[in-house]
Amino acid sequence: MKLSTLRRTSGLAFFAAVALTLAACSSSSSSSPATPPATSPSSPAASPSAPASGSAAASGGVYNIGLITPEGNIDPLTTANFNTMFIVGLASAQLIIESPTGKLEPQLATSWTPSANKLSWTIALRPGLKFSNGQSLTANDVVSTFNSIISPKSQSPAQSSFAGIVKSVAASPDGQSVIFTLDQPYSDFPYLLTGANTWVLPAGFNANNWINDPVGAGQFILQKYTAGEGVTYTKNPYYWDASAVKLSGIDAKFYSDDQSELLAFQAGQIDQITSDPTVVAALGTNYRQEREGYAKFDGLVFNVTKAPFNSQNVRQAVAWALNRQAIVQTAYSGDATVGDDYATFPDYGVQPQGVPVREQNDAKVKQLLDGQTISFTITTYQGEQTLAELVQQELDATGSFNVKLDVMTEAAYYAGTTVSPWLDAPVTITDWADRLPAQLYSLMYAAGSSWNASHYADSQLGTLNTEYEATTSSTQRQSLANQIAQIEWTDVPVIITAFMENDIYLSNAVQGTFPNGQDFSGGFDFRGISVAS
Amino acid sequence: MDSPLQRAPDTVAGPVAGPESPHFADGVVPDDVDTGAAGTAGAAGTAASTRRLRALLRRPTFVISALIVAWWIAAALTWHLFGLNPYTSTGTLNAPPSWAQPFGTDYLGRSVFARTMAGADSALAVGPLGSVLATLLGGALGVIAGYFRGWVDTALMRVFDVLVVLPPLIFLIVVVGAFGASTPALIVIIGVVFAPGIARIIRAAVLAEMGKKYVTTAKVQGESAVRIMTTELVPNVLPTVIIQATLSLSAAILLTATLSFLGLGWQPPSPDWGLTISENLGYLESAWWTVLAPAFAVASLVVATQLIADNIKEVSS
């Protein structure tokens, strides 16, 4: 063979193999056909009525962040994806936010007070609020927003958080407050107002067209959205605490995958990156790390209507077979707290007591299974692949299980509304964001919940949760929390191996400390943050 | 380099009939010629095959390539006999190469050496059978189109024209999305994807043969079309068929690895090379060995099969 032929042949094949290897290293700039075109809303900063404090305090530079390229339309009422929530959250505000320690912080509201019978809550609004277009933000806007969420026709994921709890929403006679009337007493009601999709929008606003007319009351104004490329924001001079916002703007760039985002962070193109095992492995401890509460847990969900998972013994056997400490170290790089199969985040005020911590116990597994070998498939999506592989590895190592994996794309996993892989497969792994225990109960465990992927139902658990939210006695709440956790732990429809912390790596140019978490409950709060030039 | 993915010219692309083909002047069959000349031609063909094999074995690139392919075939068939376990943790995550773990370990502590060896199993599960199917299907249709010509040729070629212009990877992604990525499904899909390209090249080779006297002689003798195609034409275009089969094998291996890389092929925790590259990309900086080993495996197998095809082509011509 001629040398030139050999070179050409080898070169082509080598190129092909290397192309496979490096494909994900490139950041795609392709636009999603489903995303709207670039928009350029008029900036109120240019308005003659814009307050002077906005520009005066905006000397903290432009903060650069990376987001995974969002798909589909961006609607504040219906978005359920972290990246699109980030895009909306920077330009929007809620009534109340939750600090990383679980404490409620005022935002558009200044106070929240229950009625004597605890069947209504009065939320006092901050005086002089304005949207980013200069329009006043009134109680009617809040009422309109929440009516859109709780409407029977609502497509908002937040609807399920308020279903069976909020009966109606109305403005107070003086227009300074909003009154939420409840179906039943609910002590943690203000926490529901920190939930996803509760950003206040102008009354009569078409949320479906938000990306083309991105009005909000957040810290920043969305100036330009370019599909497939990114979003630029400038400081919102009408934000209620504008003087605390030091940044002049935020520049969000879209990346096709985590690896591209990591390379951009290392190259100094973005100022922060969310921690995960690949990031930790690549960055080590050379960067400033900030922890902001808990982000999520990844639940191993059993469909209890399908054999063999209709057997409590089988579900418990799986739970006892897992080495949770190893999962925390391997799947979360240590940035997580070991879970114990009840849905209470470690930062919640009332922590269940008296529930034994499950540690890997092969003898117990064999006893529960009576020597049988259980074969099943775990269905999940690519974002959970590492955890799924680790769970499979640990279960197979016991010799009592023969586990296969079905790892789908995220779109395929969540496809469909009533029939969907994540809702119907025998065993799934699905991530759940930080919520109240009662919220998690109503979404995950309650009979009839459209997100109850385990199809589990227990009337006693429902009664205990209702009693828990109806009482304000700390002693009684502790007792009820213990009983709730014990039932969830014993019946184990969902295994919660770990609660993942919300850790981010920051470039050395970033100054200041984030006051609240970078998630919907923390309000995507950039107050006090600046970037050194 | 010829590839089953490339559009083939309608003219001769492969080696023309060798000297072993019977030639008769002006299409006249002499009375003293044994019209059942298969025995003579067969002996000549065997001798030619031996000459080609010897020529191939004198070529270092062929020998090295054949050894590499043999190595991966052996790995695919025997990895489990050597105590290799590509699924269990060795205890240390992302450990660099060492004497104990020559290729290091991955993000779950699995031996990269064990996974690379075991990955040959899935790499060779689809490619060979898929390329055999593509060769049989494409070869048969190519011979039929070239022999009958006329409307049969026109109809087949227009269908192939449509199929050949479809980007194989995109076509494959769509079909896999619709029918799944099981091993039998992948074999059939690979066969169907590569068959049109092979058919076009075989057809061109058959057209070149059709003008030769031995075909005319066979027709004059009243041999059936099936007999002429199978006993006269196929042996004479066999080198082209072998080259195309080898090239399609190489392309099939790369394509199935690509599918796995995109998450459409083998499921975790399979040690499939494409999947392994995809899984470990995030660790490229911190644990480069987890990507390098499967990438080298894919490259070595693809390059080796391509070089084998190139060597056969050069020796045949």
Give residue-wise pLDDT tens across range B139-159. Answer: 999 999 999 988 998 999 898
Q: Mean pLDDT in chain B? A: 84
Q: Cis ω on the peptide bond leading into residue A33 (within 30° of 0)?
A: no
| Residue A318 reports pLDDT greater than 60 | yes
**Positive or negative, the Cα torsion across A478, A480, A481, A486?**
positive
DSSP H helical segments within chain B, as ranges? 38-57, 60-78, 112-148, 150-165, 168-179, 183-210, 213-220, 225-227, 234-261, 273-280, 289-316
CA distance linking residue A218 with residue B109, whole number of Å: 45
pLDDT level of residue B42 (50, 70, 90 thresholds): low
CB contact under 8 A, A390 and B108: yes
| The predicted structure's pLDDT at residue A447 | 84
pLDDT level of residue A439 (50, 70, 90 thresholds): confident
Half-sphere exposure of A243 (CA within 13 A, CB side): 3
| Residue A40 reports pLDDT greater than 60 | no
Q: Name the residue in chain B with its Cα closest to that of A406.
A: B267
Q: How far is CA B273 from the centre of its chain?
A: 18
Please report, in angstroms and rounded to a whole number, the separation of the first and last CA atoms in chain B.
14
Q: Cis ω on the peptide bond leading into residue A308 (within 30° of 0)?
A: yes
Q: pLDDT for A158-183, tens place per residue?
A: 887 888 889 999 999 999 999 999 99
Q: Name the residue in chain B with its Cα closest to that of A20.
A: B258
**Option in A17, A281, A393 nearest B88 (CB):** A393
* Min distance A480 CA to chain B CA atoms (Å): 39
| The predicted structure's pLDDT at residue B131 | 93
CB contact under 8 A, B306 and A12: yes
Asked whether B195 and B141 are in contact (CB, 8 A), the reply is yes
Mean pLDDT of B278-299: 93
Contacts of B182 in chain A (CB under 8 A): none
Q: pLDDT for A189-238, tens place per residue?
A: 999 999 889 999 999 889 889 999 999 999 999 999 999 899 999 999 99
* Min distance B72 CA to chain A CA atoms (Å): 16
Ranges assigned E (strand) in A99-217: 104-106, 109-114, 120-125, 166-171, 177-182
pLDDT level of residue B45 (50, 70, 90 thresholds): low
- C-alpha to C-alpha distances, A317 to A354, A461, B316, nearest whole angstrom: 20, 22, 64
Please name the residues between 24 and 43 in chain A that touch chain B, using a CB distance below 8 Å: 24-25
| The predicted structure's pLDDT at residue A199 | 96
CA distance linking residue A54 with residue B259, whole number of Å: 52
CB contact under 8 A, A16 and B254: yes
Q: Going by C-beta distance under 8 Å and a sequence separation of 6 or more, which residues neighbour residue B74?
A: none
Does A385 lie at the interface with B, CB-CB under 8 angstroms?
Answer: yes
Q: In chain B, what are the domains?
A: 43-316 (1.10.3720.10)
Q: pLDDT for A283-309, tens place per residue?
A: 876 788 888 788 899 999 999 999 999
ipTM rounded to 2 decimals: 0.71
| Residue B105 reports pLDDT greater than 70 | yes
| Residue A38 reports pLDDT greater than 70 | no
Q: Which residue type does A480 have?
A: L
The three-state secondary structure class of A165 is coil
Q: Mean pLDDT in chain A? A: 86
| Residue B225 reports pLDDT greater than 50 | yes
| Residue A50 reports pLDDT greater than 50 | no
CB contact under 8 A, B307 and A8: no
Does B92 lie at the interface with A, CB-CB under 8 angstroms?
Answer: no
DSSP H helical segments within B24-167, as ranges? 38-57, 60-78, 112-148, 150-165
Does B303 lie at the interface with A, CB-CB under 8 angstroms?
Answer: yes
CB contact under 8 A, B258 and A1: no
* Interface probe with B: pick from A20, A286, A323, A410, most Cβ of B within 10 Å: A20
pLDDT level of residue A521 (50, 70, 90 thresholds): confident
**Option in A20, A278, A397 nearest B257 (CB):** A20
| Residue A55 reports pLDDT greater than 70 | no
